[in-house]
Structure 1
Amino acid sequence: MSGPGPGPAGGRDAGLQPERTRLAWRRTTLACSVTAVLALRQALRGSGSPVEVAGVAMIVLLWLAFLGVAHRRIRALAAYRPAPLAPRSAVGAALCTLALAAFAVAVIL
């Protein structure tokens, strides 16, 4: 008598974990997008000084960088055996998140 098999094609059955992770990345991307839009809206209400324009440019660049990391990870999780998140991507996503949080605090003050 043999126990349960290792998965559909003789490999690891990942179950729903990759899908949950994919959904978490999508939710995080949505939250990051909303934060970026609110920060842009607040920055554009200002006087249009060079500092505000530079802030808007940084917000857009950070949002695009995070969107790129998230999109690559979502696509990687679609595979049957997703590769682990590279440390460089993890650090990039964390830095983008922290920078957007810092901009949010700066906009509020």
Structure 2
Amino acid sequence: MSAPGPDRDAGLQPERTRLAWRRTTLACSVVAVLALRQALRGSGSPVELAGAAVIALIWLAFLWVAHRRIRELAAGRPRPLALRAALAAVACTTALAVFAMTVIL
């Protein structure tokens, strides 16, 4: 299969991908809020507050990666997702899930 030419019409694929990033950001936000709520529901010890701060930082990092990608997809011909951005999104998602599970347990 040959690579698409420069005059290729991308159709609705960038729009669908942009909407998928928005849904993923919303899901990540819900998980972060629930994890923060659970972390701050405790006694307010320094460990719990540090965990809440880490969860907030991970959430902000994911929002930064997602926002950059959503802006790139708004262009007429978006560039492919950079490996560094993909790894950052995976790392944020995994770290948020790990921290959320440690807070819950």
Instruction: State the TM bucket, normalised to the shorter chain.
Output: over 0.9
Higher gyration radius (CA)? 1
Residue 53 of structure 2 is matched in structure 1 by 57
- Please, which of 53, 71, 75 is the counterpart of residue 75 of structure 1? 71
TM-score, length of structure 1 as denominator length: 0.89
CA shift, 1:108, in A, is 1.9
Which runs of structure 1 show a deviation greater than 2 angstroms over 4 or more consecutive aligned residues?
A: none
Aligned length, in residue pairs: 102
> SS of the residue aligned with 2:8?
coil
1:32 paired with 2:23, answer: no
AA in 2 matched with 1:57: A
CA shift, 1:78, in A, is 0.6
Residues 84-99 of structure 1: pairs in structure 2 closer than 5 A: 84-99=80-95
Q: Which runs of 5+ in 2 are unaligned?
A: none
Taking the aligned partners of 1:58 and 1:108, their CA distance within structure 2 comes to 15
1:13 paired with 2:20, answer: no
Taking the aligned partners of 2:8 and 2:75, their CA distance within structure 1 comes to 12
AA in 1 matched with 2:21: W
